[in-house]
Structure 1
Amino acid sequence: MSDHSELSTVSQVDIARYMGTWYEIARLPMRHEPEDGTDISATYTLEADGSVEVRNRMRRKGEVDESVGRATAVDETASKLEVTFLPEGLRWIPFTKGDYWIIALDPAYTVALVGSPDRKYLWLLARETTLDEVTRNHYLAIARQQGFDLGPLIHTPHTGQPTA
């Protein structure tokens, strides 16, 4: 049983406008993203079947790591997605998808706040590698209002080295 109310998401996402590259500005710690990772980005590509290819990249110890997954919208709002990084032949296995809920999104689709309803995962994303302090604080305040503990928040370094 959760002690949180239902996580609020944006009312509607134009999934086509959401596609492209987003840079991680900050995140809560998670086992599949090492704390020493830098230059973290996610590139989303809309597929013919309506699903989204998710291509995550980061630099770690001088090397570029990449993982490729698939996201599907849970409903017609496209504000709640399920993401899996399992190999394609194993994606049918139950309980292997993560929640990717878009909590806040600016009208120009340049800043997004994404989290999971259990409040364990949170990402602040932007179309650029930096975000001004006022904007960053605004989105992090939304996360706090939604019940996220930002004590362990990691601010992602971007070194300017390409990951492509």
Structure 2
Amino acid sequence: MASKKEMEVVRGLDIKRYMGRWYEIASFPSRNQPKNGADTRATYTLNEDGTVHVRNETWSDGKRGSIEGTAYKADPKSDEAKLKILCREPHMDEAIYNQLVEKATSEGYDVSKLHRTPQSDNPPEAEESPQDTKGIWWIKSIFGK
């Protein structure tokens, strides 16, 4: 479900800061992801035309599943505008996670449907972490052009 409030648009976003790998800490169930998926992550790469190339990966029963595409701005009124909590590291501090869940609740999300994504201490096919600020990104919609 989308938020009861209008989704906020971040203006003047430095899109390059968000490129690289993000680990999924929690998300609402999606028909595009297996229910028992673990080590789910997203890797964003900026295309020359300003769009964003997205590679989503998840492991289910020891097998890697992935999907790639180009990100465009999601319609906030669509149920495709999903809530996800992502972090630069596979594990998030519990206090910060709880703050984000509280924020989601205050914005009208039904957090009872939020699913914690299992993340192992040594993610499969570990690559170097993006040389970037280790921040948390609150995703409400996907980047526009």
TM-score band by shorter chain is: 0.7 to 0.9
Is 123-132 or 137-146 further displaced after alignment?
137-146
Is 135-144 or 51-60 further displaced after alignment?
135-144
Number of residue pairs the alignment of both structures matches: 123
2:86 aligned residue (125, 131, 144): 125
Partner letter of residue 7 of structure 1? M
Aligned-residue CA RMSD in angstroms? 2.1
| CA shift for structure 1 position 117 | 4.8
Q: How far does the alpha carbon of each residue in 1:60-81 deviate from its partner, in whole angstroms, 9 at most, with x for none?
A: 1111111001013xxxxxxxx2
Structure 1 unaligned runs (5+)?
Answer: 73-80, 83-98, 100-115
Partner of 2:110: 149
CA contact (8 A) 1:57 1:64 kept: yes
Q: Which has the higher strand share?
A: 1
* CA distance in 2: counterparts of 1:134 and 1:3, whole angstroms: 23
Partner of 2:141: none
Partner of 1:112: none
Structure 2 unaligned runs (5+)?
Answer: 127-145
Partner of 2:32: 32
* Structure number with higher relative contact order (C-alpha < 8 Å, ≥ 6 residues apart): 2
Structure 1 runs of 4+ with >3 Å offset: 9-12, 116-120
CA contact (8 A) 1:54 1:69 kept: yes
Partner of 2:23: 23
Q: How far does the alpha carbon of each residue in 1:31-52 deviate from its partner, in whole angstroms, 9 at most, with x for none?
A: 1112200000000000000000
What SS does structure 1 have at the residue aligned with 2:30? coil
TM-score of the pair, normalised by structure 1:
0.68
TM-score of the pair, normalised by structure 2:
0.76
Partner of 2:68: 68
